[in-house]
C-alpha cells in the first residue's frame, strides 16, 4: 500500500529539533519496503544526538510495544550526517532494529555487515550500505 510523506510524518516518532533530519527520516522511511516501513513507524523512536555520531540503534528496554510487548527500538541519529549518506545511514540503523541486533547484549560479530547488506538490498547507498566500510 502506498503511503504519503504526510502520513509518514504524522506517524513518525522523532525527538529532536532538526527539521532537516526529520525530513530526511521521512524520506528514508518512504523508500523502505512496506513491512519494514510499517515496523519502523510502529516500533522505532528516532532521537537526535546532535553531532556526536552518524547513528546507533538500541532496544528500548525501558519501554515496550503496547500490543506485542516487544522492545521499542531507539534510533539515535546525528544531525551532522553528510547529505550523500543520510538516507543510507538512517536505513542502516533501521536494518539493525529489523534484524534484532541488540547492542546491549551480544550482537553477531558481522552485524554491521549484515545491516549494510540489507540497506543496500533495500536500494540505499552511501556508507550505510557499504559492507566494505564496515570492515574498517
pLDDT digits (tens, 9 = 90+) for 47-96: 887 665 666 666 655 555 566 667 788 888 988 889 999 999 999 999 99
Q: Return the SS3 of 10.
A: helix
- The pair phi, psi for residue 60, each rounded to 5°, is -85, 75
Decide if 104 contacts 86 (C-beta within 8 A): no
- pTM of the full structure: 0.85
How confident is the prediction for the chain on average, in pLDDT? 86
C-alpha triplet 57, 66, 6: angle, nearest 5°: 65
Copy the grid coordinates of residue 20: 532537516
Q: What DSSP string describes 44-99?
A: EEEEE-TTS-SEEEEEEEEEE-TTT-PEEEEEEE-TT--TTTHHHHHHHHHHHHHH
User: Model confidence at 104, in pLDDT bands (50, 70, 90)?
Assistant: confident
CATH 3.30.2010 fits 5-135, yes or no: yes
**What residue spans define the domains of the chain?**
5-135
User: Model confidence at 103, in pLDDT bands (50, 70, 90)?
Assistant: confident
User: Model confidence at 118, in pLDDT bands (50, 70, 90)?
Assistant: very high
Average pLDDT over residues 29-35: 97
CA distances 93 to 26, 54, 67, 124, Å, are 14, 10, 23, 12
Amino acid at each position: 500500500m502506498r503511503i504519503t510523506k504526510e502520513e509518514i510524518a504524522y506517524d513518525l516518532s522523532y525527538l529532536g529539533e532538526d527539521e532537516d533530519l526529520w525530513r530526511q527520516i521521512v524520506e528514508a522511511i518512504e523508500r523502505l519496503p512496506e513491512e519494514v516501513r510499517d515496523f519502523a513507524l510502529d516500533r522505532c523512536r528516532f532521537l537526535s544526538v546532535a553531532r556526536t555520531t552518524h547513528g546507533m540503534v538500541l532496544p528500548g528496554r525501558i519501554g515496550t510495544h503496547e500490543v506485542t510487548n516487544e522492545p521499542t527500538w531507539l534510533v539515535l541519529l546525528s544531525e551532522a550526517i553528510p547529505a550523500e549518506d543520510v538516507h543510507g545511514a538512517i536505513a542502516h540503523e533501521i536494518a539493525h532494529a529489523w534484524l534484532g541486533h541488540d547492542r546491549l547484549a551480544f550482537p553477531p560479530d558481522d552485524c554491521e555487515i549484515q545491516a549494510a547488506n540489507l540497506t543496500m538490498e533495500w536500494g540505499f547507498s552511501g556508507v550505510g550500505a557499504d559492507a566494505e566500510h564496515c570492515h574498517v
